[in-house]
Amino acid sequence: MKFPDSCFPVILAAVLLATPAVAATAKKPAKPAAKAAAVVDPQPDATSLVAQSRDAQSKGDTELALRLAQSAIVADPARPSSYDALADIYAANNAPDFARSYYASALSIDPTDMTALKAMAALDRGATDKRAANAEGTKTGNP
């Protein structure tokens, strides 16, 4: 079988690439194996931070509970439950002004947040009760 002269370069290239020695030099050198990427723990999400905060609070670790609740707000500032958690800690530790502030933040995100609404009402009742007790004490001569 006779091939036309115009096919010769194509046939020669096919033969050369099929030859192992030539094919090996035509390939790019293999890259060294890539190093394994360092494994980094993902940042905890706001839900788990709030759960950890409530757990710390139940164990009496107020400082840790505060930090975890604050971290939950940083992790997801659009979650009212993170503000509720922080406000709950302040309310439980006799800091009603801070509690009101964080409940108000939760309500600014979600005006129907029942946790914040109920807690604000409880704080208001507590303030009313204290004012009534103070007024009663001054009537009887007790400061």
Supply the DSSP string of 53-115, one letter for each residue.
HHHHHHTT-HHHHHHHHHHHHHH-TT-HHHHHHHHHHHHHTT-HHHHHHHHHHHHHH-TT-HH
Task: Specify the pTM.
Answer: 0.63
The chain-wide mean pLDDT, for the chain, equals 78
Query: Mean pLDDT throughout 90-96?
Result: 95
Question: Rounded to whole angstroms, how far apart are CA atoms 77 and 72?
Answer: 8
Q: How confident is the model at residue 128 (pLDDT cuts 50, 70, 90)?
A: low
The yes-or-no verdict on residue 111 having pLDDT over 80 is yes
The predicted model gives 24-31 an average pLDDT of 54
Q: What is the pLDDT of residue 143?
A: 54
Q: Is CATH 2.60.120.10 the classification given to domain 46-139?
A: no
Pick from 83, 123, 130: nearest CA to 103? 83
Instruction: For residue 126, name the pLDDT band (cuts at 50, 70, 90).
Output: confident
